[in-house]
Structure 1
Amino acid sequence: MGKNNFFPGPDHGRGRSRNGVTPVIEGVFLMTKDRIIPYEELDDYCEFCLEPLSYDATYDSAYCAGCNEWREETCTDPKCQFCTDRPKRPFDRG
């Protein structure tokens, strides 16, 4: 994999420091769908459609709204207050 350099648009000058040197941002990023996602944040995105994940507090689980799928497995505890009644898909609550 090669190295790519990205240059900001017309507002590039706003990021200059006092001494006139443009700050350099280094790291590993994924560029997709006109957005740049830092490597450290990839866990917050769906691995299939790359949309941001949502969180459902009722079932204590992350899900992808675009795929309508949970991104966390249910646990094996038959008495778990979160997993026992969780629907097969996030929006199949009938």
Structure 2
Amino acid sequence: MVVNLIYCDLPHAGAVSEECEDIDTHNIYINKNLPHDRMREEIKHELIHIVNDDFYLEHHVNLVEEMVRRSALNEEELEHIEFYHHFIDN
């Protein structure tokens, strides 16, 4: 799996993720103005959505978010991800 980490201006969010047309490719857009520790938490949160394949769940968004907050990532799940960092400066 490929995850593109895109650091950019996000005026109303810490981070958001999306699934790309390419199989097993995802983008995580991160607010570049966040402190580094908050960035890490936002990336971790979005990675849990990706690993759990939350894009196709039919549950209410509040339930999905609660499930993510109670989840944790382990090293095995991260071993198969190739991370690419992109910085967008406006």
Q: TM-score, normalised by structure 2?
A: 0.23
The higher radius of gyration belongs to: 1
Query: Which gives a bigger RCO, structure 1 or 2 (Cα 8 Å, sep 6+)?
Result: 2
Question: Scaled by the length of structure 1, what TM-score is found?
Answer: 0.23
* Greater percentage in strand: 2
Q: Identify, as 1 or 2, the structure richer in helix.
A: 2
